[in-house]
């Protein structure tokens, strides 16, 4: 019996073995090839303790259905995206629960060219998976070694990285297997790597592999300061997002990194479109437009960012969650590329990372604040009525803008929560407007 609850908005995910287990994934595997109309798919997995058993069962289901499997091994999610495109497959699966705790596992599902399967399409997969299967001639598994090609791909985004000292914290996730190997042949050029928790361990013995939580970056911050590193990078479990730390050990907001990378892409491709999520500081839009680019706001979520980038033919996209997307990277998110690009920018500009980021610190942000409510949608309508004199967008929840402040409130995809992000020109206005909105949200 396949529980419907494991089919989320963007992926398949649940507690192992209660919700997602070998029997469940074998049943999904039996129907997966027909769902994609594929005779061959790419499958990768992360280092979680349950990923090996789930891989074996899923693959058995796939080959029992007559579909062949290209096994690219224990890899990161960006590596899986690369594998689908490089091997010209009709689609693939990454077995991972990303940044979730060790008790979880799941699938990230893609079509050809790493196009994500999400929302309505995932529900179609669910419906296909619970239908009776038909016997078929068995397929086979073919191991594939494509790391050299992946390494060339990510290094194609940079030209010259000089003497840079970088600390990375992989949280015992896939970044520890991939990123050091990318740098390995470059260490003679003066690159110095300080690795933290790069040994693969799906029990996550040191801390959660979620760099969005500041407590998971403390040891990285300490390592940067103690080793006088130029920067630090914290990867999540499947290494598709990254959070940066500057040379002073200060955590850098991901939207500031988006602004910095946007400047670089607009040097390479003047006038290009760049996508950013609607929670980002308005300095991102201002930076893109000041450099002659076309700034395109988008609702939160990797599937929406990827779709918007394809529509707009955008060269680059960034999210506040630390996901960065690249047109020449199959319009997919990749954590290795932004780290390499920041290293190259430091080389070229001969400035400290804090100095490069300082111009973006113009405004004052609340950070994301979540509030549990019984009727989130009704509360949004109430807030729209109160702030009817502002400029309103409903692309992702509600975005209401004034000349000197703005806020975005959206519903969580998974819980009865409202998530508030607010920014203002002064600290005082940010604090007062934040408190005002929280009072309205909580009904006080």
Yes or no: is domain 364-441 CATH 3.30.2320.50? no
| Confidence tier at 217 by pLDDT (50, 70, 90) | very high
DSSP for 346-380, written as a single string: HHHH---HHHHHGGG--SEE---EEEE-S-HHHHH
Q: In the prediction, which pLDDT does 132 show? A: 77
State residue 323's pLDDT score: 98
Residue 187's pLDDT band (cuts 50, 70, 90): low
% residues pLDDT > 70 (the chain): 99
Q: Which CATH class name applies to 254-336+349-360?
A: alpha beta
Digit-coded pLDDT (tens) for 13-72: 999 999 999 999 999 999 999 999 999 999 999 999 999 999 999 999 999 999 999 999
Q: What is the mean pLDDT of residues 231-237?
A: 98
What is the rounded distance in angstroms from the CA atom of residue 291 to the CA atom of residue 308? 21
Q: What's the burial of 187, exposed, middle or buried (CB within 10 Å: 0-12/13-18/19+)?
A: exposed
Please check the confidence at residue 139 and state whether its pLDDT lies above 80: yes
Over residues 249-270, the pLDDT tens digits come to: 999 999 999 999 999 999 999 9
Which phi and psi (to 5°) does residue 31 adopt?
Answer: -110, -5
Q: What is the per-residue pLDDT for 341? A: 98
Per-residue pLDDT tens digits for 287-306: 999 999 999 999 999 999 99
The whole-number pLDDT of residue 207 equals: 97
Residue 443 is predicted with a pLDDT of: 87
The pLDDT tens digits for 64-99 are: 999 999 999 999 999 999 999 999 999 999 999 999
What are the tokens at 250?
């200060």
List, in order, residues 6 or more apart from 429 with CB less than 8 Å away.
364, 404, 405
The pLDDT of residue 188 = 59
**Residue 280: DSSP 8-state:** S
The pTM is what? 0.94
Within 8 A by CB and 6+ apart from 40, the residues are: 67, 68, 69, 70, 89, 90, 139
Q: What is the largest CA-CA distance in the chain?
A: 68
417, with CB counted inside 10 A (0-12, 13-18, 19+), is middle
Task: Report residue 155: phi and psi, to 5°.
Answer: -75, -15
What CATH code is assigned to 4-145? 3.40.120.10
Task: Determine contact, residues 157/340, Cβ cutoff 8 Å.
Answer: yes
Task: Just list the catalytic residues.
Answer: 98
User: What CATH number does the domain located at 149-251 have?
Assistant: 3.40.120.10
CA gyration radius, the chain: 22
pLDDT over 90 percentage in the chain: 90
> Which residue from 178, 154, 180 is spatially nearest to 237, judged by alpha carbons?
178
What value does the mean pLDDT of the chain take?
95
DSSP single-letter state for residue 425? S
Tell me, what's the pLDDT at 229? Answer: 98
pLDDT of residue 88: 97
Domains 149-251 and 254-336+349-360 share a fold: yes
Domain-by-domain residue ranges, the chain? 4-145, 149-251, 254-336+349-360, 364-441
Vertex 241: Cα angle to 238 and 7 (nearest 5): 60
Measured between its terminal Cα atoms, the distance across the chain in Å is 45
CA angle 349, 354, 359 (to 5 degrees): 80
Short-list 328, 280, 275, CA closest to 298: 275
Could you tell me which residues are beta bridge partners of residue 41? 69
Predicted local distance difference test score (pLDDT) of residue 444 = 65
**Confidence category of residue 185, pLDDT binned at 50, 70, 90:** confident
The tens digit of pLDDT for each residue in 303-316 reads 999 999 999 999 99
């Amino acid at each position: 019996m396949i529980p419907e609850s494991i089919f989320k908005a963007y992926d398949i995910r649940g507690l192992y073995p209660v919700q997602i287990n070998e029997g469940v994934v074998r049943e999904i595997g039996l129907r997966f090839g027909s769902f994609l109309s594929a005779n061959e798919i790419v499958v990768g997995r992360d280092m979680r303790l349950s990923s090996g058993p789930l891989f074996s069962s899923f693959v058995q289901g796939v080959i029992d259905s007559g579909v062949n499997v290209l096994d690219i091994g224990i890899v990161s999610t960006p590596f899986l995206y690369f594998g689908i495109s490089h091997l010209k497959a009709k689609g693939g699966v990454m077995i991972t629960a990303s940044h979730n705790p060790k008790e979880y596992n799941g699938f990230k599902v893609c079509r050809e060219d790493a196009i994500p399967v999400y929302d309505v399409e995932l529900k179609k997969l669910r419906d296909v998976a619970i239908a009776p299967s038909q016997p078929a001639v068995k397929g086979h598994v073919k191991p594939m070694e494509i790391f050299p090609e992946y390494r060339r791909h990510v290094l194609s985004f940079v030209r010259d990285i000089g003497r840079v000292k970088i600390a990375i914290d992989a949280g015992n996730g896939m970044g520890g297997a991939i990123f050091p190997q990318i740098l390995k042949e470059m260490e003679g050029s003066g690159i110095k790597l300080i690795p933290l928790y790069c040994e693969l361990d799906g029990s996550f013995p040191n801390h959660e592999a979620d760099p969005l939580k500041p407590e998971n970056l403390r040891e990285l911050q300490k390592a940067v300061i103690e080793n006088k590193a130029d920067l630090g990078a914290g990867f999540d479990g499947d290494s598709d997002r990254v959070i940066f730390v500057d040379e002073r050990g200060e955590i850098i907001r991901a939207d500031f990194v988006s602004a910095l990378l946007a400047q670089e892409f607009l040097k390479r491709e003047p006038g290009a479109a760049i996508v950013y999520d609607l929670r980002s500081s308005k300095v991102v839009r201002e930076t893109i437009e000041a450099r002659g680019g076309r700034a395109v706001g988008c609702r939160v979520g990797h599937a929406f960012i990827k779709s918007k980038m394809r529509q707009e033919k955008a060269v680059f996209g960034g999210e506040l969650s630390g996901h960065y997307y690249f047109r020449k990277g199959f319009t997919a998110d990749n954590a290795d590329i932004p780290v390499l690009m920041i290293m190259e920018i430091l080389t070229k500009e001969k400035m400290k990372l804090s100095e490069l980021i300082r111009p973006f610190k113009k405004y004052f942000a609340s950070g994301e604040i979540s509030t549990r409510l019984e009727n989130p949608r009704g509360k949004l309508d109430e807030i729209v009525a109160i702030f009817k004199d502002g400029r309103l967008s409903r692309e992702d929840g509600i975005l209401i803008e004034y000349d000197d402040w703005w806020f975005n409130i959206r519903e969580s995809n998974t819980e009865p929560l409202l998530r508030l992000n607010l920014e203002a020109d002064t600290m005082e206005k940010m604090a007062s407007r934040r408190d005002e909105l929280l009072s309205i949200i909580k009904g006080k």
